[in-house]
Amino acid sequence: MNALDIEQGQRPVEPFLEVEGLTKVYGKQQALNGVSFTVQAGSSFGLLGPNGAGKSTTMKILTGVIKANEGSAKLFGKDVSKDQSVVSKYIGYVPQEITLYEQLSAYDNLYFFGQLYGLAGQTLKIRIHEVLEQTGLSDRSKDPVKTFSGGMKRRINIAAALLHRPKLLILDEPTVGIDPQSRNHIFDMIRSLNQAGTTIIYSTHYMEEVEALCDEIAIIDNGLVKAQGGLGELLERYGRKAIYLEIGGKVNPPELTQVDQVIKEGAGWILETEHVSEVMKSLLLMASQRDWDVKQLEIVRPSLENVFLTVTGTALRD
């Protein structure tokens, strides 16, 4: 707390979840190299990274499934590896692999998982009814899970993680391999849970998912968080500022001192610059003076894709 806070009687905002320097080695494989990030209460936090970046390992550590070699994860200031009750009380975890009893009905699966969370009797029955409503599967509650599509199984999986009303819901790539209808349903569910106050951590390798769902994004690669911020902040800080120019005929790319780099792309060039409007003016002038046959001249909008490229040095491909 600084002097100003004390003077004004304000309390500093404590992070809801604070992850500091997590490392994890599996045999000879270094999966995490010092993962750090913070999550504020009520946010919808996206962990974006390619396959093998360390997302699942991070989530397993947060939920106490495995232990880190070094570092800590603190929820409400309590270390999750030392206080398992914090995890079981406040966290709902939807792992990457769907874990359900195929022969049992959706209702019976939820009954089983509810008991694991310490719920029983009428309270459990009411909660099962509520989470089935939330996931849109009330009418299938008596059917065995083996008759469900992948997307429906995933929804039951999420329902199970919601039974004890967690304050933090952690979802590990929940839309991989599911149908668009279930995907939209899951998105709507996550949005309404978040609006009702549940903090979300959502891992994915799909950029459009974090763009659609998350107000805070951490980019993870090679077991390290390379950048964290809101989408606007990341675009501003790391997004490529550039102009795309395509000229008909055999013309060399224009040389302008304010252009940092010229990259061939398609039939034209990407001109990277911090001075977009000045460079645009110069290009328009050159176009008329040199009588260019301009096919395309436009500002390149910064995207999460080029943020990823700037931050990690590689493209994030599906």
Ligand X SMILES: Nc1ncnc2c1ncn2[C@@H]1O[C@H](COP(=O)(O)OP(=O)(O)OP(=O)(O)O)[C@@H](O)[C@H]1O
Q: Does 51 bind ligand X (CB under 6 A)?
A: yes
Looking at residues 157 to 216 of the shown chain, list those that interact with ligand X (rule: CB under 6 A). Answer: 173
Query: How many residues bind ligand X, per CB under 6 A?
Result: 13
Task: Please tell me the distance from the alpha carbon of residue 160 to that of residue 127, in angstroms, as a whole number.
Answer: 10
CA-nearest of 311, 247, 307, 237 to 274 is 237
Q: Is the Cβ of residue 56 or residue 81 nearer to ligand X in the bound state?
A: 56
Q: Does 226 bind ligand X (CB under 6 A)?
A: no
CA-nearest of 172, 195, 196 to 47 is 172
User: At 210, is the secondary structure helix, strand, or coil?
Assistant: helix
The packing angle between helices 150-162 and 121-134, to 10°, is: 140
Q: Is the Cβ of residue 25 or residue 276 nearer to ligand X in the bound state?
A: 25
User: At 118, is the secondary structure helix, strand, or coil?
Assistant: coil
**Bridge partners of 200?**
44, 169
Place of tokens 């040095």: 313
146 contacts 196 by C-beta, under 8 angstroms: no
Q: Does 53 bind ligand X (CB under 6 A)?
A: yes
Task: Please tell me the distance from the alpha carbon of residue 242 to that of residue 236, in angstroms, as a whole number.
Answer: 13
Looking at residues 54 to 83 of the shown chain, list those that interact with ligand X (rule: CB under 6 A). Answer: 54-57
Min dist CB 66 to ligand X, Å, is 8
Among 6, 10, 26, 115, binds ligand X (CB under 6 A): 26
Min dist CB 47 to ligand X, Å, is 8
Min dist CB 253 to ligand X, Å, is 38
Min dist CB 169 to ligand X, Å, is 17
Min dist CB 51 to ligand X, Å, is 3
Residue ranges that bind ligand X, judged by CB under 6 A: 26-27, 29, 31, 49, 51-57, 173
